[in-house]
């Protein structure tokens, strides 16, 4: 599950994503509450997740760049909508039931470079993209679609 999370200031990938490249840098991750100790030496990676479009049946490899890699300690992954929008994606993560006139153009992410519209799903109050760990076959045969930029992501910009 690839949750859209405004509270995570950068993409954060876990067990449902596959690392395809490590950056030559690590960082310290400070939790949301000061009573928790920061996590040190967290690698920054480029990761892949498999997504199958429900309309076409086509599988895409979603590429998440400049992501913190939490490994198996994190069952699902997170994308910051600001980081996606900074890269040029359209993110409409307002759930349909909260819109005055919802339609087929509601609750989605659009990736212009691939002309791909991903319908977001909702679990509780969280919007997400259904993903899975990509197989070797999928990595070699499916279209790669970037979700974030490979440029350094400045969370305060």
Q: What is the dihedral of CA 12, 43, 41, 155, to 10 degrees?
A: -50
Q: What does the mean pLDDT of the chain come to?
A: 88
Binned at pLDDT 50, 70 and 90, residue 93 comes out as confident
Q: What is the pLDDT of residues 110-126, one digit of tens each?
A: 999 999 999 999 888 88
Binned at pLDDT 50, 70 and 90, residue 49 comes out as very high
As a whole number, mean pLDDT of residues 74-84 equals 91
As a whole number, mean pLDDT of residues 28-33 equals 74
Q: What is the pLDDT of residue 13?
A: 96
> C-alpha distances in angstroms, 47 versus 2, 16, 71, 122, 149?
12, 10, 11, 23, 12
pTM for the structure as a whole:
0.90
């Amino acid at each position: 599950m690839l949750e859209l999370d405004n509270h995570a200031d950068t993409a954060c990938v876990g067990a449902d994503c596959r690392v395809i490249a490590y950056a030559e840098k690590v960082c310290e991750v400070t939790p949301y509450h000061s009573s928790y100790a920061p996590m040190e030496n967290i690698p920054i990676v480029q990761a892949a997740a498999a997504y199958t479009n429900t309309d076409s049946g086509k599988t895409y490899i979603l590429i998440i760049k400049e992501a913190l890699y939490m490994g198996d300690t994190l069952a699902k992954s997170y994308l910051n909508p600001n980081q996606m929008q900074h890269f040029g994606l359209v993110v409409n993560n307002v759930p349909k039931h909260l819109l005055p006139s919802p339609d087929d153009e509601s609750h989605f992410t659009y990736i212009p470079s691939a002309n791909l519209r991903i319908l977001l799903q909702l679990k509780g109050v969280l919007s997400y993209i259904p993903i899975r760990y990509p197989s070797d076959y999928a990595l070699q045969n499916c279209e790669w679609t970037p979700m974030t930029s490979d440029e350094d992501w400045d969370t305060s910009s």
